[in-house]
Amino acid sequence: MPPILKATSVLAAVAALSWGLAGQAAAEEVAQATLYGDMSAVTQTMLDHAGHDGNNFLMTNGNYSQTRFYPNRQINTMNVKHLHPAWIFQTEVKDTMETTPLVVNGVMYVTTAFDHVYALNARTGEELWHYKHKLGPISIYCCGPNNRGVAAYEDMVYLATLDSKLVALNAKTGKVAWQSDIADPELGYSETMAPTAVNGKILVGTNGGEYGIRGFVKAFDAATGKLLWTFNTTPENSVGVWATKDASGQDLHRDIAAEKAALAKGGDPYKTLGGGVWQNPAVDLKANRIYFVVGNPSPDLDGSNRPGDNLYTDSLVSVDLDTGKYACHFQYVPHDVWDVDSVSPAVLVDALDNDGKLVPAVLHGGKTGFVYVNDRRDCHLIRVSEAMVPQENMYALPTHGVGTRMLPGANGGVEWSPMTVDPALSLAYAINLHQPMHYSVKEAAYPAGKLWLGGAFSVIPTEQQWGNVTAVDYNTGRIRWQVKTAQPMIGGIMATAGGLVFTGEGNGLFKAYDSQTGSQLWQFQAGAGVNAPPAAYSVDGKEYIVVGAGGNAQLDYKRGNAIISFTLN
Amino acid sequence: MMSARLALAALLVAGLGASSARADAPPEKAALCAACHGEKGVPIDTSIPVIWGQNEGYIYIQLRDFSRGARQNEQMAAIVAQLSRDEMKALAAYFSTLQWPNLLQKSAPDDVVRRAETVAASAQCPQCHQGGYIGASVQPRLADQSETYLLATMRAFRSGARANNDWMTALLKTYSDDDLKVLAAYLAGL
Query: Which residues in chain A touch residue B170, judged by CB atoms under 8 angstroms apart?
Result: 442, 456
Instruction: Answer whether A140 touches B (CB < 8 Å).
Output: yes
HSE, side-chain direction, 13 A CA sphere, residue A132:
3
pLDDT tens for B92-141 read 999 999 999 999 999 999 999 999 999 888 778 888 898 889 999 999 99
Instruction: Answer whether A459 touches B (CB < 8 Å).
Output: no
Q: Measured between alpha carbons, how far is A169 from A415 in angstroms, rounded to an integer?
A: 30
In angstroms, the Cα distances linking A323 to A202, A303, B1, B72 are: 13, 32, 20, 46
Residue of B nearest to A170 (CA): B4
From B1, B93, B137, residue closest to A180, measured CB to CB: B1
Contact of A248 with A230, CB cutoff 8 Å: no
Residue of A nearest to B131 (CA): A95
Query: Which residues in chain A touch residue B4, judged by CB atoms under 8 angstroms apart?
Result: 176-179
Residue A17 has a pLDDT of 39
Q: Measured between alpha carbons, how far is A183 from A294 in angstroms, rounded to an integer?
A: 17
Residue of B nearest to A166 (CA): B1
Q: Are A138 and B70 an interchain contact pair (Cβ–Cβ within 8 Å)?
A: no
ipTM exceeding 0.90, yes/no: no
Secondary structure E strands in B2-140: 2-3
Query: Which residues in chain B touch residue A181, judged by CB atoms under 8 angstroms apart?
Result: 1
Query: Which residues in chain B touch residue A227, judged by CB atoms under 8 angstroms apart?
Result: 1
Residue B25 has a pLDDT of 82
Residue of B nearest to A454 (CA): B166
Choose from A133, A178, A226, A559 for mutation: most chain B CBs within 10 A.
A178
Burial of A117 (0-12, 13-18, 19+ CB in 10 A): buried
Q: Measured between alpha carbons, how far is A187 from A140 in angstroms, rounded to an integer?
A: 8
List per-residue pLDDT tens for chain A, 569 residues long: 333 333 333 333 333 334 333 333 333 333 444 444 445 699 999 999 999 999 999 999 999 999 999 999 999 999 999 999 999 999 999 999 999 999 999 999 999 999 999 999 999 999 999 999 999 999 999 999 999 999 999 999 999 999 999 999 999 999 999 999 999 999 999 999 999 999 999 999 999 999 999 999 999 999 999 999 999 999 999 999 999 999 999 999 999 999 999 999 999 999 999 999 999 999 999 999 999 999 999 999 999 999 999 999 999 999 999 999 999 999 999 999 999 999 999 999 999 999 999 999 999 999 999 999 999 999 999 999 999 999 999 999 999 989 999 999 999 999 999 999 999 999 999 999 999 999 999 998 999 899 999 999 989 989 999 999 999 999 999 999 999 999 999 999 999 999 999 999 999 999 999 999 999 999 999 999 999 999 999 999 999 999 999 999 999 899 999 999 999 98
Query: Which residues in chain B touch residue A556, judged by CB atoms under 8 angstroms apart?
Result: 124, 127
Residue A1 has a pLDDT of 34
Residue A515 has a pLDDT of 98
DSSP helix/strand/coil, B132: helix
Instruction: Answer whether A262 touches B (CB < 8 Å).
Output: no
Q: Are A225 and B165 an interchain contact pair (Cβ–Cβ within 8 Å)?
A: no
SS3 content of chain A, % helix, strand, coil (to 5): 10, 35, 55
Beta-strand relationship, A69-70 and A493-496 = parallel
From A177, A179, A448, residue closest to B2, measured CB to CB: A179
Q: Are A137 and B170 an interchain contact pair (Cβ–Cβ within 8 Å)?
A: no
From B4, B127, B170, residue closest to A178, measured CB to CB: B4
Distance from CA of A179 to the nearest CA of B (A): 6
Q: Measured between alpha carbons, how far is A45 from A64 in angstroms, rounded to an integer?
A: 12
Residue of A nearest to B97 (CA): A137
Residue A560 has a pLDDT of 97
Q: Measured between alpha carbons, how far is B141 from B167 in angstroms, rounded to an integer?
A: 17
Q: Measured between alpha carbons, how far is A515 from A77 in angstroms, rounded to an integer?
A: 9
Q: Are A137 and B124 an interchain contact pair (Cβ–Cβ within 8 Å)?
A: no
Choose from A93, A134, A138, A161 for mutation: most chain B CBs within 10 A.
A138
- Which entry of A339, A341, A422, A473 is annotated as an active-site residue? A339
Of A234, A377, A271, A256, whose CA–CA distance to A318 is shortest?
A: A377
Distance from CA of A276 to the nearest CA of B (A): 20
Q: Are B167 and A177 an interchain contact pair (Cβ–Cβ within 8 Å)?
A: no
Distance from CA of A122 to the nearest CA of B (A): 29
Indicate if A339 belongs to the active site.
yes
Residue A200 has a pLDDT of 98
Alpha helices in A127-176, H assignment, sequence order: none
At residue A80, what is the residue type?
V
The mean predicted confidence, pLDDT, of chain B is 87
Q: Measured between alpha carbons, how far is B96 from B54 in angstroms, rounded to an integer?
A: 5
Residue A58 has a pLDDT of 98
From A137, A176, A227, residue closest to B137, measured CB to CB: A137
Instruction: Answer whether A138 touches B (CB < 8 Å).
Output: yes
Residues from B in contact with A at Cβ < 8 Å? 1-4, 7, 55-57, 60-61, 68, 70, 89, 92-93, 96, 124, 127, 137-138, 164-167, 170
From A135, A138, A224, residue closest to B60, measured CB to CB: A138
From B2, B3, B93, residue closest to A137, measured CB to CB: B93
